[in-house]
Amino acid sequence: MKIPPYVVLDKKLGQTPLEAIQEWKAAHPEYADVPASYAGRLDPMATGLLLVLLGDECKQKEKYTKFDKEYEVEVLLDIGSDTGDVLGMATENDSHTVPNTDKVREILAQELGIHLRAYPAFSSKTVNGTPLFLHALQGTLDTIIIPEHEETFYRIQLRSIDSLPLSELQQRVKEMLAVAPKSDEVWKALGADFRIHEVRNSWSPTFLQPDRSYTVLTLRIICGSGAYMRTLAQRIGTALGTNALAFSIRRTRIGTYKKFGPLSLWFSLFKL
């Protein structure tokens, strides 16, 4: 059997990358014993393009992880969380933020270029052999120095500014939390259920308040490898004087993005 170098999967909401690979292998049992490795992880609440290397191509993983990415992201204003997405402890701001287009575009323009950023507290980056998310859950973040990394944003396009009714917000959040993954790995025991019961409880005050609407910014983002959409959403909220989180994240392209004056092109493209 000739083994292809890779497959492109459409990761589902709530899946970990490993679960997406396991599902694909279950549907293609001829590859059950073939080594497989994803090149560029996606958070459980993110969907979209997951590039999975097969066989000997797994040895070339570093080459693939350096590719640029494109995302479609919804940024929810006036609600934040410690993870920067729905799968976190929610905190609501009393304000009702409805920014104008010019203000949002001004904030997005400030994100363009190369910036040195701290890794998110809820990420898999290790410090002293322990992932940052476990430090966060253990309450030991103040005992370590959180490392920094470069993030590059080539283009951030504002697609729309929309109003989301509370009833729709509640429905979507419940659907997202219903598919949160669980892990049986002993070393992940502290966060094995992603604090799902505590997270659901943290959203309850929002759902019990008088009916209102929330502003959602829909963005199309082209960025370098390693850029975090969750922390971008948080920074946008801060710049607008409120809380914010990444309400949805969908990866749509992987490749090499080049600009030639006013023109731009994708090369070595993987897309859904």
**pLDDT given for residue 184 in this prediction:** 55
Please state whether beta strands 244-260 and 46-54 pair in parallel, antiparallel, or not at all (unpaired): parallel
- DSSP output for 200-211: HHHHHHHHHSPP
One-letter amino acid at 158 equals: L
**pLDDT given for residue 187 in this prediction:** 46
pLDDT digit string, tens, across residues 134-190: 888 888 999 999 999 999 999 999 999 999 999 999 999 999 999 988 755 544 555
| Segments making up each domain of the chain, as ranges | 6-65, 68-271
> Are 141 and 134 spatial neighbours (Cβ–Cβ below 8 Å)?
no
Contacts with 163 (C-beta within 8 Å, 6 or more apart), sequence order? 98, 213, 214, 215, 216
Terminal CA-CA length for the chain: 26
Looking at residue 262, the DSSP 8-state letter turns out to be: T
> Are 59 and 219 spatial neighbours (Cβ–Cβ below 8 Å)?
no
Q: 256 by DSSP, 3-state: which?
A: strand
Mean pLDDT over the full length of the chain: 92
Mean pLDDT of 107-136: 92
The CATH label, of 3.30.70.3190, 3.90.180.10, 2.40.40.20, 1.10.357.10, for the domain at 68-271 is: 3.30.70.3190
Instruction: Give the CA dihedral 185, 18, 225, 145, nearest 10 degrees.
Output: 0
Mean pLDDT of 116-126: 92
Please state whether beta strands 6-11 and 148-165 pair in parallel, antiparallel, or not at all (unpaired): unpaired
Gap between the Cα atoms of 92 and 78, Å rounded: 6
Q: Which residue has the higher pLDDT, 268 or 21?
A: 21
